[in-house]
Amino acid sequence: MKEFFGNIYTWFESLFGKELSEHLWGYECETGTYLTNLYNQVGVMTLIISLLVAILFYYIINHPRFNRWWSWVIVLFINGLVNMLYAYQFVLSDFRAGKISDCLMYIRNEKSGEVVSQLIEEGNCLMFGYTNFIVATLFFIIISFIVKWKSPNAKHAPFL
Amino acid sequence: MKKTYITLFLPIIILLFSACGRGKSHQTNAPSNDSTQVAITEKTAKPDINFYIENSGSMLGYINGVTEFEQILYNYLTDIEISQVANSLNLFYINEQTFRQPYDLKKYIGDVEPNSFASKNGTSDISDILANILSVTNDSTLSIFVSDCIFSPGKGISADKYLVNQQIEVKTNTANYLNKNKLAITIYQFNSKFNGRYYNRVDAPTTINDVRPFYVWILGNPKHVAELQRQIPDSKFIGEGVQHKASLSSVTDEIKYSILPTSGNFKLDKINPLHIIEAQKSTGNRSDKNKFTFIINADFSPYSLDKEYLHNANNYTIDNRDYSISLSDSRQNGYTTSIKLTTEQLQPTSIGVNLLINMPQWVNDMNDEEGLDIMQEGAMAKTFGIKYLIGGLYDAFTQKSNIYTTLKVNIDTK
């Protein structure tokens, strides 16, 4: 269960890179151990946001004009976008604050210690954002089909 | 419609900005290595350091004129004083007896005169001197001993038999000490001008003016020896510096090591990160294509071994013949050595990487087996019987095991 969210995100690990993935698992180079699993933080927040958006759509807005598949798709997209920005900012703040362990960030010259190459760039953070767009979309689809049935006016969106 | 979308957007935007920035929740729970290191240093009491220079007749040539011997030792003693690594620093000359000297580094070695340095006794038995020094070395006293380490069997004594007996004596004295105490020994070899009389194995003198080796031994509790070398690393010795080094330690504490998760095609068990899971061979165009590779970072600093030793694959064994090993400095803070293991035969297994207690090759290379003619080619740079002296130490330390430590890793394939 502790690795539930991490296992989902690592389906897409090739998009944002193994090094960033290890950071999100909580790997700490100096101790060689996994500490705080950041995938859980991102995953739980994405799940909560997706749930709130679904509830907003089906029970708060709850308008017959939204009882159409394309209205639902628009909300699906907005949910994905919001979660994409959230995940991007989440890892970018670590990247810029220097919180990613050195062995995951750089390859260094073994004699001089100078950086030979950088393993994680801002582009990896952006790709993690895109990954969370995909994950949030999956969450929203699943949540929609769980919660929509009691909606007075929107339960037929996207279909059934 | 506009109100609908604002109603939709607003709470989400509020939630988003409240979620961004992770505050302190991701601060590592593990204390930094630096703060831990400082805490350990503060809690471990500083040792008294006894500094012994052998002052038998054979040593006079090292203090004739301005020599590297004087400069290196004077600088080293000054560094010990400045670094405040010792509770007290006590100075001695030593041969068959021990002579305490006033605390004046310049008079002791910086500007020492032969008349005040030479012992009236003139000779010394190295194994007896070592036994004497060991007897006053303990958990609160660290000893540093400086000598040319030349055995002197004298006339009419079989040199071969004498050397073997000396090796056994050194082994016995050291093993007895190890049965009751923890011990680390580091031996540095330096070179210095020598202008004086060299005494061969039958005590026949030859006047020489050349460069000769001398040795500095550090003996004591492994934590004190490691701390002294941390405070005054090898690079701080002046002149040509350390020529060779040998280190032994009876440290039995577990060594810190970890697997670099980005060093190959695998994942690590999040609960036990020394367990590789989903191991696969590499693909692509790299040199390790169709091979499985991973890197272990290890911290061997408690053993005070130098890079030459740690980077020599002959000082390691792997209890799985399918794996080859290559070594380099670790690029990771808190680790000394990077151990890369490679195989083409990937299968689920347990691997043990053993760091062996081996006598460095230089000890054999620096050994003069004959000890008769210092003018013989190559003899000037060598020391009569040094391999028996240092060999006795290694015999003592490897009585129970010839392995410093074993790094264990489990591997499961995908």
Which of A14, A29, A77 is the best residue to mutate to test the B interface, defined by the most B CB atoms within 10 Å of its own CB? Answer: A29
CA distance B195 to B214: 13
CA distance between the termini of chain A:
32
Tell me the sheet residues that pair with B269. Answer: none
pLDDT band for position B12 (50/70/90)? Answer: low
Other Cβ atoms within 10 Å of A101 Cβ, number: 21
Q: Please, are residues A20 and A27 in contact by the beta-carbon 8 Å criterion?
A: no
Q: Please, are residues B309 and B360 in contact by the beta-carbon 8 Å criterion?
A: yes
Q: Do A93 and B273 touch (CB under 8 A)?
A: no
Q: What is the pLDDT of residues A110-131, one digit of tens each?
A: 777 788 899 999 999 999 999 9
Question: Is pLDDT at B384 greater than 50 in this prediction?
Answer: yes
**11-70 in chain A: CB under 8 A from chain B:** 18-19, 22, 25-38, 41, 45, 48-49, 52-53, 56-57, 60-61, 63, 65-66
How much is the pLDDT for B213? 96
How much is the pLDDT for B18? 46
Q: Please, are residues A92 and A122 in contact by the beta-carbon 8 Å criterion?
A: yes
pLDDT band for position B8 (50/70/90)? Answer: low
CA distance B52 to B67: 18
Tokens representing A101 are 């362990």
| SS3 state of residue B104 | coil
Contacts of B388 (CB under 8 A, 6+ apart): B151, B163, B164, B166, B167, B170, B367
**Which one, of B111, B123, B139, B1, lies nearest residue B54 by Cα?**
B123
Q: Please, are residues B412 and B236 in contact by the beta-carbon 8 Å criterion?
A: no
Nearest-Cα distance to chain B for A84, in Å, is 10
**117-146 in chain A: CB under 8 A from chain B:** 119
Host H or E run for residue B338 = strand B337-343
Of A99-108, B114-123, B130-139, B177-186, least confident by mean pLDDT is B114-123
Q: Please, are residues B152 and B124 in contact by the beta-carbon 8 Å criterion?
A: yes
Name chain A contacts of B258, Cβ cutoff 8 Å. Answer: 29, 31-33
Q: Do A41 and B261 touch (CB under 8 A)?
A: no
**Which one, of B407, B276, B262, lies nearest residue B336 by Cα?**
B407
Question: Is pLDDT at B144 greater than 90 in this prediction?
Answer: yes
CA distance B38 to B21: 32
Q: Please, are residues B22 and A99 in contact by the beta-carbon 8 Å criterion?
A: no
Question: Is pLDDT at B297 greater than 80 in this prediction?
Answer: yes
Long-range pairs for B18-23: beta carbons < 8 A, 24 or more residues apart? B19/A45, B19/A49, B19/A86, B19/A90, B20/A86, B20/A89, B20/A90, B20/A93, B21/A89, B21/A93, B22/A41, B22/A90, B22/A93, B22/A94
Host H or E run for residue B46 = none
CA distance B263 to B277: 13
ipTM of the complex: 0.83
**71-90 in chain A: CB under 8 A from chain B:** 75, 78-79, 82, 85-86, 89-90
Name chain A contacts of B1, Cβ cutoff 8 Å. Answer: 65
Name chain A contacts of B4, Cβ cutoff 8 Å. Answer: 61, 63, 66
Interface residues on B facing A, Cβ-Cβ cutoff 8 A: 1, 4, 7-9, 11-13, 15-16, 19-22, 25-26, 28-30, 32-33, 256-262, 268, 270-271, 273, 297, 328-334, 338
Q: Do A30 and B12 touch (CB under 8 A)?
A: no
CA distance B238 to B225: 20
Nearest-Cα distance to chain A for B71, in Å, is 29
| Average pLDDT score, chain B | 86
pLDDT band for position A143 (50/70/90)? Answer: very high
**Which one, of B26, B289, B283, B262, lies nearest residue A13 by Cα?**
B262
Look at B65 and B341; give whichever has higher pLDDT. B341
In this complex, how many residue pairs, one in chain A and one in chain B, have their CB atoms less than 8 Å apart?
117
How much is the pLDDT for B119? 64
Tokens representing B394 are 């290694």
How much is the pLDDT for B30? 34
CA distance B234 to B243: 10
- What is residue B322's DSSP assignment? T
pLDDT band for position B395 (50/70/90)? Answer: very high
CA distance A26 to A42: 12
**Which one, of A57, A52, A50, lies nearest residue A151 by Cα?**
A57
Question: Is pLDDT at B23 greater than 80 in this prediction?
Answer: no
Residue with tokens 């580094």, as numbered in its chain: B105
Of A109-113, B31-35, B215-219, least confident by mean pLDDT is B31-35
Closest chain B CA to residue A115 = B331
CA B81 to each of CA B78, B88, B223: distance values in angstroms, whole numbers, following the listed order = 5, 9, 19
**3-state secondary structure string across A50-110:** HHHHHHHHHHHHCCHHHCCHHHHHHHHHHHHHHHHHHHHHHHHHHHHHCCCCHHHHEEECC
Numbers of helices and strands, H then E, in chain A: 7, 4
Long-range pairs for B113-119: beta carbons < 8 A, 24 or more residues apart? B113/B63, B114/B60, B114/B63, B114/B64, B117/B55, B117/B59, B117/B60, B117/B63, B117/B93, B118/B55, B118/B57, B118/B60, B119/B55, B119/B56, B119/B57, B119/B93, B119/B95
Q: What is the pLDDT of residues A54-98, one digit of tens each?
A: 999 999 988 888 888 889 999 999 999 999 999 999 999 999 999
- What is residue A17's DSSP assignment? -
Other Cβ atoms within 10 Å of A1 Cβ, number: 5
Mean pLDDT, residues B259-286 taken together: 89
Question: Is pLDDT at B278 greater than 80 in this prediction?
Answer: yes
Tokens representing B177 are 């000490």
pLDDT band for position B28 (50/70/90)? Answer: very low
Per the rule left: phi > 0, alpha: psi between -120 and 50, beta: everything else, B156 is: left
Tokens representing A143 are 């949540």
Q: What is the pLDDT of residues B200-211, one digit of tens each?
A: 888 889 999 999
Of the candidates A2, A86, A103, which has its C-beta nearest B16's C-beta? Answer: A86
Question: Is pLDDT at A156 greater than 60 in this prediction?
Answer: yes
Q: What is the pLDDT of residues B33-81, one digit of tens each?
A: 344 444 444 456 899 999 999 988 889 999 988 899 999 999 999 999 9
